[in-house]
Structure 1
Amino acid sequence: MSGESSTADDGDPLAAVVARGRAETAADTLREEGVYDDDRSVRPFGEDAVALPVTAPPERTAVREVVRQEAEPRLRNLDDHLRERGWTAEERERAPSSWAVIGTVVLVDIGDAPRPDEVGEALLDLHANADTVLARHGIDGTQREPDVAVIAGAGDTETIHTEHGTRYALDLAEVMFSPGNKAERKRMGDVVAEGDRVFDMFAGVGYFTLPMARAGARVTAAEINPASFRYLLENAKLNDVHQRVDLYRADCRDVADGVEADRIVMGYYDAHEYLDAALSALEPGGIVHMHEATPESLVYDRPVDRLTAAAADRDRAVKILDRRKVKGYSEGVAHVVVDARVE
């Protein structure tokens, strides 16, 4: 960390300068230090950096420098920014209520909000570390391809997103990334033991493969989408786990015959359709993590019944270890996960 620099009075508040791509991670560590100032806004700093508001110079977070900035009250939320732009109360009611910052990209369900370009510009003002806003319209097809459109900013949809120490390089115009699965991605890194043999049947860019491999597991990962597989390869090297992963651009059913797994991850909403392949690869006493989009009225009965029936067809017994909701999938439908040991 370099010393303070300033053209403002010494009484002006402090800000820590970091590279734009590190802003999200640095803000988290500054909060852990107890020096992040939530009452002020993040502001651009030069062409490739941002100034994060702090109450004192950080001692543990690496920053380029600490500067003084003219005091500027924080517009705390999207509603504040849209009000500044002259939006009426009725218009603001139709604005998005949630969005996600993925690296340097803001991903938002725009709904029926008026003037999406103004929403995008307001989100860029709210998140100074971001440079592009994407409106998300859904995921298409078996290869889970995103339907998105640039509504503000530079239009650079490729970024690196950091989560609990795992780095994900991806292009949000080409591959899906679900912000709501953050806790589940962390959890999978926590539940594996070093040396576990894991089969990730729907690996994507490495959502679960990377945290598990970083925890010491040996992971066989299959991904059929060529764009996702390209980033899966890159991310294995980016996280220095390439020696602990075997990666296949293939249908997971074609990979399963050669796999002997202690643990299987089925991170796909229609995972039940692949249970035969999963159980053929799962060693006796192994654990399966089966995802499903389930109507609320059938949570958790349907996924448990499907898993139990598939195991019974192979004369195998199932012990349910855990059941949990990850997030809402659509109105009346939940994204759930069932963890089970299969003898």
Structure 2
Amino acid sequence: MSLLKEAFERFAPDYLERYGQSMLPSHRRCLTDISSCQTDALDGSLHVCQSCGHEHYTFHSCGNRSCIKCHHLRTDKWLDKQQDNILPTRHFHYIVTLPSELRPIMCSNQKKSYKILMTSAFDALQKLASDPKHLGGKIGAIAVLHTWSRAMIDHPHVHMMIPAGAYNKDDDTWIRGREKFLVPIDALKSIFRAIFMKRMRKALPKQIFPQAIWKKKWSIHINTFDSKVENLLNYLGRYVYRIAITENRVLAVSQTTVTINHNGEALHLRGEEFIRRYLQHVLPKGFHKVRYFGIMHSAHKQTRNRIKLLLMNEVIIPDRPVKKKSTRCLKCSSTLILSISVLAPRNFNCQASVHPP
């Protein structure tokens, strides 16, 4: 059992019992699903080896998008799909962050404010990219919302994977971006702040915004990826179907605390506090944390295909290695397995997980 799974099994039931009546429905559902995921609380499957006749039992996953145990296969499928969509050129990794003074407002109005954050970040980029002084064309981005810091506290920001150039439809040309940035960074910060605040004021007309945000520099960080575009894609994919923390960052679980890796140092959290920090990153029902903008939107597949022809001699993006997901018998290692979905008896002992995690 992973330490992350152990932390939830140890502390989630008490958290539900103590706070269940006052919790948001999405938070309560998340804990309930995680607690029952891959246990006899859900249906299971019977796997019969056709070579030796040995029987294996597995329990089904809950499918909650905030679950710590599910979605490995869905992540692989997402990465494979993006592999077909990304353009064979350099990419930028933009990280757009908000001043800390705005975090309470964002947390209290998640559905509206998180959408505004994501759309404003891209629209500011596109506004500058449309100017012939900079690029003079249409850009695109794959954007993934993160709402956490390394300590799992509230810290909304957007990661964007952006091809290093723009497409000019009139001239049918691909305009290559600069070496270190797509558009001037100071201008981008100012335009993003203006667009974001205008939309927030319209969405929350009664909200009072702290004046300190106008005196601070808003943070936008840029990384450049040349031939290692797949590394950026894998980084984004890590949290497409997860939130807040990965299994390898949980160092220890005791009777009362969970210890996590925080920038190379051990951070000790009470079990209840660990669960609370995790749940604050469960997004509202129906919210899309991954969005595709501009030429990376599904409606622009033909445009991307045209750009790929224009970029035929640029960066070659290697195919992702195909992972073999064969199911093997635990007794004789045969791959001849017959799987039958069944209702899992409540007292039934799961011998092993046949499918790889």
Is the TM value for this pair above 0.5?
no
Higher RCO (CA-CA < 8 Å; seq separation 6+): 2
Structure with the higher fraction of residues in strand conformation:
1
Structure with the higher fraction of residues in helix conformation:
2
